[in-house]
Amino acid sequence: MLRLALFASLLLAVAGCDSSIPVCPDGELDIDDVVVGTGSEQATASSTVILSYVGRLTNGDEFDRGDNVRFNLQGTVPGFRLGVAGMRPGGRRTITIPPTLAYGPTPRTGIPACSALVFDVQLRDIVS
Domains defined for the chain, CATH in brackets: 24-126 (3.10.50.40)
**How far, in Å, CA of 29 to CA of 31, rounded?**
7
pTM (2 decimals)?
0.82
Mean pLDDT confidence for 88-97 = 97
Mean pLDDT confidence for 33-51 = 95
Largest Cα–Cα distance of the chain, in whole Å?
A: 66
> Residue 19: its pLDDT value, please?
57
The mean predicted confidence, pLDDT, of the chain is 88
**How far, in Å, CA of 126 to CA of 52, rounded?**
12
